[in-house]
Amino acid sequence: MKTTSILFAFMTAVFLTASCGRENGTGYEPVDYVNPYIGSISHMLVPTYPTVYLPNSMMRIFPVRTDFTGNRLNGLPLIVTRHRSASALNFMPYTHSGGEPFALPPDMSLGYDREKTAPYRYSVYLDEMDVEVDYAPSHQSAVYGLTFPPDVVPCLIFGSRRGELNVDGNTVSGFQPVGGETKVYFHAETDVAPAQTPVAAGDTLMLTYPEGTTRLGLRYGVSFISVEQAKKNLEREIAGYDIEAVASAGRRIWNAALEKISIEGGADNDKAVFYTSLYRVYERPVMLSEDGRYYSGFDHKVHDDEGRPFYTDDWIWDTYRAAHPLRLLIDGKAESDIIRSYVLMAGQSEHGWMPTFPGVSGDSRGMNSNHGVAMVADALAKGLQGFDTEKAYEACRASIEERSLIPWSNNIPAGELDDFYKAKGYFPALKPGEKETVRGVHSWEKRQPIAVTLGTSYDHWCLSHLAQALGKSEEATRFLRSSYNFRNVFNHATGFFHPKDRDGNFIPDIDYRISGGPGARDYYDENNGYVYRWDVQHNIADLITLNGGNEAFVDALEEMYNTPYGMSRWEFYNTLPDHTGNVGMFSMANEPSLHIPYLYNYAGQPWRTQKRIRNLLEQWFRNDLMGVPGDEDGGGMSAFVVFSQMGFYPVTPGSPTYNIGSPVFSHVRMDLGNGACFEIEAPNASADNRYIQFATLNGTPWNKPWFSHDDIKAGGKLTLVMGDKPNRAWGAAEPPPSAEKIAE
């Protein structure tokens, strides 16, 4: 029997104050800078959501409406089970005038005003019913406070969407299906007993309370195991209906998490962007352990967690780039537990494949490639332990070699297109006018042959490193060789990665700005050829060679930023709606672009990286409702902002190195755990002073635009002397490392 639950240990760890934090002298705490409404109005597709939750906790909610500008709330949420998805188990306060028959209202929506959101608290005024709502979450439970006018009959309407609801006195419980065999359960209690028999209709019921009740408390627990476990989760976390107590505890937990990185200098808006971005990184994955057990959507069973928390809900295609590397630095224990969870998922699944989009109901296999291997390779390269590396390697290898490379294909084994890739070293495009005949190719997502070829080349490089670390030298050599497959689709005549047909011919008449149909998916994916021109994260040195050397490489980067739409904006975005946040043909709005501004470091002109990073942060990440340029994807893009504002970035997950950019703040302190602290000092950094003049690392003069994980893992200090004009010589001589060379 466990004497201490995983959840208690989790809460205790989060409550610990960062060992190398520093008072900011303003009276503000980090959570005060978080603005959940940043990005709530989308530039084109999906906005961010003002989500209320504790770090990496199962309990999450956000307002139930079409978007931030929606005029009505479609009820109040009890839990959001997947990032960015509709809430499950909604309820709705309702007022009834006495003397009339009790019936469900015809309009199940709410007019509202005066909405306020903090990470740990939510409140809103339901103006048409004159009801005040207050809410605070814990990890697997939450509490609502509802204030009604004195002359009405208060009502609560619960909906379970094809689920089940039960009432017993002042208790409501039930479940809702959330995908496949997975269900989310809840147990709710009110501090006032209902006055009448519930009114029920299908999966909706209405409870009425004594007329004149002006204050009604609702507390509830949630579970993926059972109603009984939901009740236990509630009783473990919330004793009464005191919203202030729950919110105060949540505030302390948030400050402890955000204080893992303390900052000084910069404007208040810079701090708001920084801490809001860091808050979003903590949304996912969510910890599912409930009193030492967890439900897995991969085999639909309840497992013993063996004393370590189990996590899910992650879009690794988005988050491997920066969110996982950031977590590895500030919470290596959690990152180790997360990777261990994904290895367990692979073992619980039918084929043993590493998940790519793990969720509460299993793996959805979104996007292209199998970048779970990058997450594992990065952890191994940086010395993270606590998971079975042999099982992780085998799950990653199988997910790349035995699972189909076809985008958005879930449990499809490798087939004819995969055989072609293994034989020819590239994923073939359809010829103009050729009909798709391969089973499993999604009618909308298409083949995405360049995205698949480049992404798989990188995955093979990551596999080669895993194999080498495990002593599998023959496999390591084979995967290193296939990591150069990106060369097979490079068009030397144009300098772009160019789709090829089955016969080895380049597809004719390609416009790298717009070709490929909706989202350019016939050839690329969500982004155009200009963005995918740089999608070789593991081997920038070879990419520079392909482009003709440093000067030609820099010229090509500059060309991208200077290339106009060549058509009306509506025509461009009608085809490429994900490709927002444009600077020329560069898109700040999508994850394959995140490493691109740092590539000047590899070509002898780090000052251009410094300039570009600061410009992009100022242009596209702001403390306002449109302050995120595209789909944020639950930490994927936000981690880029956190890293870039601090002044460095992991261009190549799997390589224990970081590129230096341009710090926004004069002082950054990152708690690495166990008392170790990494600091970045740039005392004269400002909006004007964005160029590095001179640097030291751990007291030694530093003339490289990168540093290694070993340089900082035990703590250290990077000092950057900044100025308002570039020092073109600094960092120009020694570029960051790239992939190992292969024998020609």
How does pLDDT run across 608-620, given as a tens digit for each residue?
A: 999 999 999 999 9
| pLDDT on residue 199 | 83
3-class DSSP state for residue 312?
strand
What are 437's two structure tokens? Answer: 């005949």
Q: Is 460 exposed, middle or buried (0-12, 13-18, 19+ CB in 10 A)?
A: buried
pLDDT above 70 for 9: no
Give 363's strand partners.
Answer: 358
Is the distance from CB of 355 to CB of 370 less than 8 angstroms?
no
pLDDT above 90 for 161: no
Residues 6+ apart with CB under 8 A from 1: none
Give 680's strand partners.
Answer: 668, 718
Q: How far apart are CA 508 and CA 326, in angstroms?
A: 42
Query: What are the pLDDT digits (tens) for 570-589?
Result: 999 999 999 999 999 999 99
Contacts 24+ apart (CB under 8 A), 109-113: 109/72, 109/73, 109/74, 109/75, 110/72, 110/73, 110/74, 110/75, 110/76, 111/71, 111/72, 111/73, 112/72, 112/73
pLDDT above 70 for 232: yes
Query: What are the pLDDT digits (tens) for 257-287?
Result: 999 999 999 999 999 999 999 999 999 999 9
Give 554's strand partners.
Answer: none
pLDDT above 90 for 24: no
Closest of 157, 122, 154 to residue 136, by C-alpha: 122
pLDDT above 80 for 650: yes
pLDDT above 70 for 14: no
3-class DSSP state for residue 720?
strand
pLDDT above 50 for 667: yes
DSSP structure class, residue 735: P
pLDDT classification of 84: cutoffs 50, 70, 90:
confident
The strand pair at 261-264 and 164-168 is best described as unpaired
| pLDDT on residue 354 | 97
E strand or H helix at 177, and its extent?
Answer: strand 171-179
Query: What are the pLDDT digits (tens) for 712-734?
Result: 999 999 999 999 999 999 999 99
3-class DSSP state for residue 386?
coil
Instruction: Count Cβ neighbours within 10 Å for each residue of 372-400 and write b for 16 or more, e otherwise.
Output: bbbbbbbbbbbebeebebebbbbbbbbbb
DSSP structure class, residue 519: G
pLDDT above 90 for 312: yes
C-alpha distances out from residue 398 to 351, 379, 403, 592, Å: 8, 19, 7, 24
Q: pLDDT higher for 70 or 100?
A: 70
Average pLDDT (525-550) is 98
Q: What is the DSSP string of 69-129?
A: T-SEE--B-SB--STTSPPBS-EEEEEE-TTSPP---S---EE-EEEEEETTEEEEEETTT
Q: How far apart are CA 504 and CA 521, in angstroms?
A: 19
Q: pLDDT higher for 83 or 657?
A: 657
Is the distance from CB of 598 to CB of 651 less than 8 angstroms?
yes
| pLDDT on residue 23 | 47
Closest of 95, 93, 42 to residue 70, by C-alpha: 42
Average pLDDT (8-36) is 61
What are 399's two structure tokens? Answer: 């997910």
Q: Is 122 exposed, middle or buried (0-12, 13-18, 19+ CB in 10 A)?
A: buried
The strand pair at 586-587 and 582-583 is best described as antiparallel
| pLDDT on residue 1 | 35
pLDDT above 50 for 10: no
The length of the chain, given as a count of residues: 744
pLDDT above 80 for 102: no
Q: How far apart are CA 396 and CA 488, in angstroms?
A: 24
Q: How far apart are CA 60 and CA 55, in angstroms?
A: 10
| pLDDT on residue 15 | 36
Q: How far apart are CA 234 and CA 290, in angstroms?
A: 11
| pLDDT on residue 104 | 80
Is the distance from CB of 514 to CB of 572 less than 8 angstroms?
yes
Average pLDDT (210-231) is 97
Report CA dihedral (610, 615, 616, 620) to the nearest 10 degrees: 150
Q: How far apart are CA 229 and CA 235, in angstroms?
A: 10
Is the distance from CB of 310 to CB of 293 less than 8 angstroms?
no
Query: What are the pLDDT digits (tens) for 364-413?
Result: 889 999 999 999 999 999 999 999 999 999 999 999 999 999 999 988 99
Average pLDDT (447-476) is 98
pLDDT above 70 for 20: no
| pLDDT on residue 25 | 52
Q: How far apart are CA 120 and CA 243, in angstroms?
A: 11
Report CA dihedral (237, 243, 244, 245) to the nearest 10 degrees: -10
3-class DSSP state for residue 42?
coil
Q: How far apart are CA 352 and CA 182, in angstroms?
A: 20
Q: How far apart are CA 692 and CA 214, in angstroms?
A: 61
3-class DSSP state for residue 169?
coil
Query: What are the pLDDT digits (tens) for 322-363?
Result: 999 999 999 999 999 999 999 999 999 999 999 999 999 999
Percent of all residues in the chain with a pLDDT value above 70, rounded to a whole number: 96
pLDDT classification of 4: cutoffs 50, 70, 90:
very low
| pLDDT on residue 742 | 86
Percent of all residues in the chain with a pLDDT value above 90, rounded to a whole number: 88
When the pLDDT of each residue in the chain is averaged and rounded to a whole number, the result is 94
| pLDDT on residue 443 | 96
Is the distance from CB of 277 to CB of 323 less than 8 angstroms?
no
Is the distance from CB of 185 to CB of 225 less than 8 angstroms?
yes
What are 258's two structure tokens? Answer: 């955000």
Average pLDDT (487-491) is 98
Query: What are the pLDDT digits (tens) for 520-536?
Result: 999 999 999 999 999 99
What are 719's two structure tokens? Answer: 């000092």
Give helix 332-348 / helix 323-330 axis angle, nearest 10°: 130
What are 84's two structure tokens? Answer: 């960015």
Report which residue type is found at 404.
S
Q: How far apart are CA 483 and CA 477, in angstroms?
A: 10
Closest of 252, 277, 242, 224 to residue 13, by C-alpha: 252
Closest of 170, 128, 121, 122 to residue 152, by C-alpha: 128
Residues 6+ apart with CB under 8 A from 73: 63, 64, 65, 109, 110, 111, 112, 124, 126
Q: pLDDT higher for 258 or 100?
A: 258
Average pLDDT (644-656) is 98
Is the distance from CB of 590 to CB of 520 less than 8 angstroms?
no
Q: How far apart are CA 718 and CA 712, in angstroms?
A: 9
pLDDT classification of 659: cutoffs 50, 70, 90:
very high
| Backbone phi, psi, residue 363, to 5° | -100, 130
